[in-house]
Structure 1
Amino acid sequence: MQVEPSSRVELVCPAGSLPALRAAVDHGADAVYIGFRGETNARNFPGLNFSIDDAATGIEHAHLSGARVFIALNVYPMPKSWAAATAAVDAAVTVGADALILADPGLMKYAREHHPRLRLHLSVQGSATNWRAIEFYRRQFGIQRAVLPRVLSATQVERLIGRTPVEIEIFGFGSLCVMVEGRCALSSYATGHSPNMQGVCSPAQAVRWEETPEGRQSRLNGVLIDRYAPGEAAGYPTLCKGRFRVNDDVFHALEEPTALNALDVLPRLIAAGIRAVKVEGRQRSPAYVAQVTRVMRRALDHCLDGTSAAVPPTVTDALDHLAEGRTHTLGAYHRPWQ
């Protein structure tokens, strides 16, 4: 039995495994998003994601606690993978998912025709950055929620909400993508595998770690991504967050590893009418999911109880300990010139 959506702002948390799903639900998530194993979702890592049986078990656990589960089928399938993609849509219905997170218009059409009562959310991979795009998906496919790409300012989010009846979900915390989601071509340039179709920025089979006299270094399909000093934390290698030699300097030429943290503008966005706050991180451990969910639950409850407009600094500090690079940014949310 599906759970009805709450009228309050939802906290939507990630789960790449059944223990992570339980951690999210047990620490206060209103909803959890997951993916099936294989190339039907944008976190296609070995050992990650759910079998059909695990998804059914996780959904049952969530529903018993009053939480919802969304299944991400957020890639653009090629003709050879179309049957697997539509089978995943059918499987999501069979296990009782509360919504599907979709990017591909063909899959939206399939879902609406074959499962007309199924709730559809437009994925961030759909790259809908204006209200007209969102309205197109609503009129054509009946989407009920849109997840906004992390390229819009708070002012733009406010204006967009005022122009569409579609529920708006924003990213509140997690690893920051420098690209417009759904339009990245960097890793496909290096590996031949597109994150928009095969579901992962840096395919595991293309990643190599090497111990050298100069330090540990990582490569993506032969391309040197980074080199780490002794004792320096080594992140998963992605082209956009690698360090490269430019002229005589070596630095993060495209984007420094940092986390998006929207707590400073969260009260403003809630007042504007957002319906959900999303945490990135389906590739993260259950312990990470538990910690982030607990802190974000505290922050969101603080904003919703009406006692204060600002989130306490102690909450932001707690998230900084979990942030990529141990630093955070408002990203595009902070554009005072708009």
Structure 2
Amino acid sequence: MSMSNLVGKPSPSRLQALVQGALGKPCKSLLVGPGPGLDAAILQTADGRVMAIAEDPIFPAPGLPLDIMGWFTVHIGASDIAVTGVKPEFMTYTLLLPLGCPEEDARTIISSISRAAEDLGISIVGGHTGWYGAVTVPTVGGVTVWGTADQDAWISPGGAKDGDLILMTKGPCIEAAALLSIVHHERLQGNISEEMLATLRARVDQITVVEDALHAFKVGGVHAMHDATEGGVQGGLWEMSTSSGLPVMVDFDGVEIPADIVALARELDFDPWQAISEGTLLAAVEPEQVQEVQRVWADLGIDSYILGKFDSSLKENTVLKNGQSQPLLEPDSDPFWDLFFAGLQ
């Protein structure tokens, strides 16, 4: 695929080539900078603490209320901070609106962002709002979230250790399942039961890992966490392996994918392990702490699974999938985007 035909984020190697040498002035206080699967930057602050900071764009999905877009804005941004073990504290955002968009709609989005931020204890400290001819739908051009922590109270998606077990919350394809069930609703009716369609739509509320990540980190023994966004669980595992320098062995066949997601993937003909899954947390956990982490998640009503482990003795990343052992390769295009835009036509 040429870059001109690309939909969504480029593959990690393409993105690295795109931004290589274009990161401005070198910064001595930068502890974790841009890299595959690194959800947030980590900076050393003058008082000896650290700051985690991340940014994301937020696009609307037709069929979803505007106040849900506000909820997405906060939780998607905050999730990138939470996977470092740092509590999100502050945010700014840019709200771009099309000409003719009623101020009432803008107020709905702004109010929902404020409510979601307050629920998570996040202060909105700046931003930008405006109406522009180049904008066709309400869009958050960027949400920046950050928080601070003690010097030794944070982790990185690249911090996995040899022998760590890999845990996954909720299941694969969470974001893709929720949004595709909405934009393809007419196509799916009659092929998937109304009960399953309702379950799929309700997964909108699962598109966050703030709770998953912060509670797991408090348990201890969690060395790395990552939000399985574009490229899905399969891509997220490759990113964690690459950033940590450790191969992984994972068993997808040992996981019972939720029935509603299986049905959706079958009807739309895509691989749920490769589709965007904001809301799915991947965690590298020392074996002795796995049971306690899973117990904490269970108490919160969060399902979890053991996918595999980081193993330095392996020669390459390996996945058991559809009865076959195969290499776990760098993610390329995410099947979500073509399906999402097809559903808008």
TM (norm. structure 1) is 0.27
TM (norm. structure 2) is 0.27
